[in-house]
């Protein structure tokens, strides 16, 4: 392996990192909002919407992301109505098309994760909240949602990693993310091994950082699983001594 | 509407046969990659469960790395990387230019290596959910290791692994769309050809989506039946 070339490739790939990170962050944030709305619709069984969401999730989880992205980027141009509408200023751009496809895709997977989490909130917790006089949005915001979030976090962490990997498909609609630049360098130099190592390292570093963040969030959201703070222990010891 | 029907029909102008052939290619390359990944997954799971320290470390590195790197990069590595090996040999025999594995072989290899990491995790999980007593009973009966593996361990692990394997298969199927970058004429590539020929990209990519959805639904049904069959007699 040629380490000088490896170093050069690494430097050339750096400008792709913001594109990859931006696509992943935006699509995960927007996708999670959509997913939450879908999950609530499913759990509350809000009638006509309920069926639409079931169909939506089924179709988006049953077809490859690449098909979805190509339908949006290449496919929509087939209709003059869309080409002449205001949406065309966005749908013409590969960036917005890739983002839209990623958001719609992760929303489908995310809604299933959140639905499972919302269903796993213990009945007793909700009944306790109702007994305290909470209902509707207040109950959701204070009780159901925080408990469900805790439950969903490990699975949603997996979805984060999958989305980081999924952003690489944006390179196939001409975006210059890490994979896009890597593909160009491979085509120019025919040295796939070094380019693979350099690009792979970047993706692994991003994924690893993300895993650390998720773990941090998990410990924050589950205070009961943390070691008790030292101060508390001293207090407990003192209580035992003074009757 | 009628135009669309003739376009995907089986007449002389129709794209029907081409799309169906492409669908067969998709299933073939996905199945070949899935099988390769399954074999690899068994080996890696074995290394994780029963290997010594260096083997375990290697297996952990493999599953971590392959699950963190985009599949597209792995496909590029296999496609262009095989060219690195084959081009000098081909040039030696007087063939000019860039020579690589055919798209099918490169795609199968890439899918196999990527899905192997997921297979390994599924199989390892399944192995740990087999009750130790069942394996001990086989040892107590005096079964030799290979016989015990074939008669007891493999069927029991397969039963527990089936739902997970179904998920891996669905993933592999959707991943196979990426192999279109190697030029293998599977569903995606055929849709690209069709849309550049007829200038109707939406129609063709939509058809590609319908084909993929049909394959996922059918394979979901098959896996359900298998699960049902393999969990007969389970309490």
Q: With helix as H, strand as E and coil as C, how does A28-90 read?
A: HHHHHHHHHHHHHHHHHCCHHHHHHHHHHHHHHHHCCHHHHHHHHHHHHHHCHHHHCCCCHHH
What pLDDT is recorded for position B93? Answer: 79
**Residue partners of A76: CB distance under 8 A and separation at least 6:** A82, A91, B202
* Listed range (A98-102, A223-227, B6-10, B52-56) with the worst mean pLDDT: B6-10
Residues on chain B touching A65 (C-beta within 8 angstroms): 174
Residues on chain B touching A196 (C-beta within 8 angstroms): 73-74, 76-77, 81
- pLDDT of residue A233 exceeding 60: no
Average of pLDDT values for A155-182?
92
Residue A15's domain comprises 3-241
Residue B73 host element (H or E): helix B71-92
Measured CA to CA, the distance from residue B90 to residue A11 in angstroms comes to: 33
- pLDDT of residue A18 exceeding 70: yes
Among the ranges A86-90, A161-165, A227-231, B9-13, which has the highest mean pLDDT value? A161-165
- pLDDT of residue A218 exceeding 90: no
CATH number, domain of A158, equals 1.10.3720.10
Query: Given B71, B202, B216, which is nearest A75 (Cβ)?
Result: B202
Query: Given A78, A165, A199, which is nearest B71 (Cβ)?
Result: A165
Percentage, residues of chain A above pLDDT 70? 93
Alpha-carbon distances of A72 from A75, A146, B140, rounded to whole Å: 6, 35, 61
Nearest-CA distance A92 → chain B (Å): 14
DSSP, res A135: -
What pLDDT is recorded for position A241? Answer: 56
- Class of domain B17-230 (CATH, top level): mainly alpha
- pLDDT of residue A235 exceeding 80: no
The pLDDT tens digits for B22-42 are 999 999 999 999 999 999 999
- pLDDT of residue B155 exceeding 70: yes
Coil, strand, or helix at residue B15?
Answer: coil
| Cβ count near A162 (within 10 Å) | 16
Confidence band (pLDDT; 50, 70, 90) for A234? low
- pLDDT of residue A114 exceeding 90: yes
Q: Quick check: A208 and B73 CB within 8 A?
A: no
Dihedral sign (CA B225, B227, B232, B235): negative
B207 in Cβ contact with B8 (< 8 Å):
yes
Query: Given A71, A78, A196, which is nearest B73 (Cβ)?
Result: A196
Coil, strand, or helix at residue B185?
Answer: coil
What pLDDT is recorded for position B228? Answer: 87
Query: Given A62, A193, A204, which is nearest B212 (Cβ)?
Result: A62
- pLDDT of residue A230 exceeding 80: no
The pLDDT tens digits for A48-60 are 899 999 999 999 9
| Six-digit token string for A142 | 């204070």
Domain ranges of chain B: 17-230
Confidence band (pLDDT; 50, 70, 90) for B16? confident
Higher pLDDT, B116 or A235: B116
What pLDDT is recorded for position A78? Answer: 85
Q: Quick check: A179 and B213 CB within 8 A?
A: no
* Listed range (A23-27, B7-11, B96-100) with the worst mean pLDDT: B7-11
- pLDDT of residue A92 exceeding 70: yes
Measured CA to CA, the distance from residue B29 to residue B36 in angstroms comes to: 10
Q: Which residues of A touch B (CB under 8 A)?
A: 59, 62-68, 70-71, 74-79, 161, 165-169, 171-172, 179, 182-183, 186, 190-193, 195-196, 199-200, 203-204, 207-208
Look at chain A and report how many structural domains it folds into. Answer: 1
- pLDDT of residue A208 exceeding 60: yes
- pLDDT of residue A136 exceeding 80: yes
The pLDDT tens digits for B174-209 are 999 999 998 888 899 999 998 888 888 998 999 999
- pLDDT of residue B171 exceeding 80: yes
Average of pLDDT values for B139-160?
89
- pLDDT of residue A135 exceeding 90: no
**pLDDT mean across residues, chain A:** 89
A104 in Cβ contact with A68 (< 8 Å):
yes
A169 in Cβ contact with A126 (< 8 Å):
no
| Six-digit token string for A161 | 């990693």
A192 in Cβ contact with A35 (< 8 Å):
no
Confidence band (pLDDT; 50, 70, 90) for B9? low
């Amino acid at each position: 392996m040629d380490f000088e070339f490896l170093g050069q490739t690494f430097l050339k790939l750096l400008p792709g990192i913001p594109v990859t990170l931006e696509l992943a962050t935006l699509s995960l944030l927007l996708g999670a909002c959509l997913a939450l709305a879908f999950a609530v619709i499913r759990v509350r069984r809000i009638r006509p919407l309920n069926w639409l969401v079931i169909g939506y999730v089924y179709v988006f989880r049953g077809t490859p992301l690449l098909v979805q992205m190509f339908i949006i980027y290449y496919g929509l141009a087939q209709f003059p109505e869309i080409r002449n509408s205001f949406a065309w200023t966005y749908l013409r751009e590969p960036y917005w098309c890739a983002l839209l496809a990623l958001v719609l895709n992760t929303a489908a997977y995310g809604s299933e994760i959140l639905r499972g989490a919302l269903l796993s909130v213990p009945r007793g917790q909700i009944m306790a909240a109702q007994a305290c006089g909470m209902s509707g949005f207040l109950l959701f915001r204070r009780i159901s949602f925080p408990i469900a979030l805790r439950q969903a976090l490990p699975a949603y962490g997996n979805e984060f990693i999958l989305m980081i990997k999924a952003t690489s498909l944006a390179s196939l609609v001409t975006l210059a993310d890490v994979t896009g630049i890597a593909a160009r360098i491979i085509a120019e130099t025919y040295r796939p091994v070094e380019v693979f190592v350099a690009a792979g390292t970047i993706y692994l570093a991003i994924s690893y950082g993300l895993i650390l963040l998720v773990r941090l969030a998990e410990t924050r959201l589950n205070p009961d699983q943390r070691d008790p703070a030292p101060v508390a222990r001293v207090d407990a010891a003192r209580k035992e001594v003074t009757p | 509407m009628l135009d669309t029907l003739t376009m995907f029909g089986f007449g002389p102008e129709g794209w029907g046969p081409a799309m169906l052939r492409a669908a067969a290619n998709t299933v073939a390359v996905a199945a070949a990659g899935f099988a390769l990944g399954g074999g690899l997954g068994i080996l890696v799971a074995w290394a994780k469960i029963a290997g010594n320290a260096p083997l375990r470390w290697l297996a952990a590195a493999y599953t971590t790395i392959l699950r963190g790197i985009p599949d597209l990069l792995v496909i590029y590595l296999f496609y262009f990387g095989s060219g690195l090996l084959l081009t000098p040999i081909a040039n030696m025999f007087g063939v000019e230019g860039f020579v690589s594995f055919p798209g099918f072989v490169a795609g199968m290899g890439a899918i196999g290596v990527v899905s192997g990491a997921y297979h390994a995790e599924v199989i390892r999980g399944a192995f740990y959910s087999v009750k130790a007593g069942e394996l001990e009973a086989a040892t107590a009966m005096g079964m030799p290791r290979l016989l015990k593996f074939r008669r007891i361990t493999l069927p029991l692990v397969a039963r527990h692994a089936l739902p997970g394997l179904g998920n891996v298969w669905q993933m592999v199927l959707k991943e196979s769309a990426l192999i279109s970058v190697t030029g293998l004429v599977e569903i995606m590539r055929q849709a690209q050809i069709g849309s550049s020929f007829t200038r109707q990209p939406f129609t063709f990519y939509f058809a590609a989506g319908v084909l993929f959805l049909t394959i996922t639904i059918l394979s979901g049904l098959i896996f359900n039946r298998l699960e049902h069959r393999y969990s007969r007699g389970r309490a």
